[in-house]
Amino acid sequence: MKDNLKKGSAIALLPLFIFIAVFMGISLVTKDFYAMPVTVPFLLAALVALFMNRKVSLDKKLDVFCKGAGEPNIILMCLIFILAGAFAEVAKTMGAVESTVNLGLTFLPSNILVAGVFIIACFIAISIGTSMGTIVALVPIATGIAAKTGIPIALVVGAVVGGAMF
């Protein structure tokens, strides 16, 4: 019976220590606990946890991670939202959102803009295989288009969501 027991290791707590160190370190340096979103140290700790055991495949690690964190489908959707949000923020910071909005406005006539956004969302969702990633990636662009053309934002976001779920 004792032969079946696996011995634990303190190295298993490394992701927790990384999370606490990064969150507390940045919070103490900036003297503001809200200066950095909690998702940043969480992602760092999760990445460290995923790279710790080289004997197990990444697919198996993600499966174990999602099951341990809660309902696997919901956690996977949350991971997609986090990564897509990071992508959208990087794209916005680089100026890619503004460039894409200007490019879209030069090619799409304003009378078919909402339909064009819907069709683009359909194609992207089918291409990448995730409606949630499509929504998070396209909503900043769609709201930029709505702001520049005067189209109601709710209508354009509805076209993105409808196209992504199509």
Whether residues 66 and 115 fall in one domain? no
Residue 139 maps to a domain: yes
Instruction: Tell me the average pLDDT across 15-40.
Output: 88
Whether residues 14 and 34 fall in one domain? yes
Q: How do residues 41-98 score in pLDDT, each as one tens digit? A: 888 898 898 888 888 888 888 888 778 777 878 877 787 777 777 777 787 788 877 7
Residue 3 maps to a domain: no
Which has more confidence, 22 or 144?
Answer: 22
Q: How do residues 113-126 score in pLDDT, each as one tens digit? A: 899 889 888 988 88
Q: Range of 59's domain?
A: 10-70
Contact 46, 15 (CB under 8 A): yes
**pLDDT band with cut points at 50, 70 and 90 for residue 4:** low
Whether residues 79 and 62 fall in one domain? no
